[in-house]
Amino acid sequence: MAFLIKSMIGNPLSGIGLGGGGDKEEEAAPTDPAKAAGMTREEYEEYQKQVVEEKMERDADFLNKKAERATLRVCLRDKYRLPKSEQDDNMIEMAGDDVDVPEELLKMVDEDATEEEGKDSLMGQFQNLQNMDMDQLKEKASATVTEMKTKAEEKCSVM
C-alpha cells in the first residue's frame, strides 16, 4: 500500500527535468571501461595488450594450420596428377617459409605412392598371382565348367 502511494505521489521534482533525478543513472554506468571491469587504468591497458597479443598468436597459428593443409593438398594433387588450385598456392605464399607438413602425413602420402607404384608394375601383378590359392582357383573353374555342361545338356536335345 505504501508503495502505491509513493509511486503516485513520487518526487515532485523528478518529472520536471531540472536534473534532480538524473544523477543516479550517470553514477550507475561509469564511462571508463577500466572502472567497469573493476581494474585500474594500467591493469586494464595491460589486459588489453595481452588480449591483442593472444589474438594475433591464435591468428598466426590458424594461418599456419591452413597453410599446412594447403601444402598437403598440393602434395596429393601432385600425386594423383590433379589440376593445381590457385587458392592453395596463395595460402602457402601468405604463410611464407614457415609451412611444415607433419612428418606422419608426409610418410602416409609417400607410402601410398610406393604401394600404388608397386601395384601398377608388372612385377606387382605377378606377386598378386603368387598370392592366389591355385587349388581353389582350379576347383572354381571346374565347378563352373560342369555347371555350364549341365545347363547345356538340359537345353540341348542333341547332347
2-6, 17-21, 49-53: least confidently modelled range:
17-21
| Cβ atoms within 10 Å of 153's Cβ, excluding its own | 11
**Residue 87 or residue 105, greater confidence:** 87
Set of cell numbers at residue 38: 573493476
pLDDT for residue 36? 76
CB of 107 within 8 A of CB of 138? no
Query: CA end-to-end span of the chain, whole Å?
Result: 116
Lowest mean pLDDT among 68-77, 105-114, 141-150: 105-114
Euclidean distance between CA atoms 53 and 117, whole angstroms: 48
The angle subtended at Cα 143 by Cα 138 and Cα 125, nearest 5°, is 35
Confidence at residue 123, expressed as pLDDT on a 0 to 100 scale: 61
pTM above the 0.85 mark?
no
The contacts of residue 147 (CB under 8 Å, 6+ apart) are none
Show Cβ contacts of residue 65 under 8 Å, excluding neighbours closer than 6 positions.
none
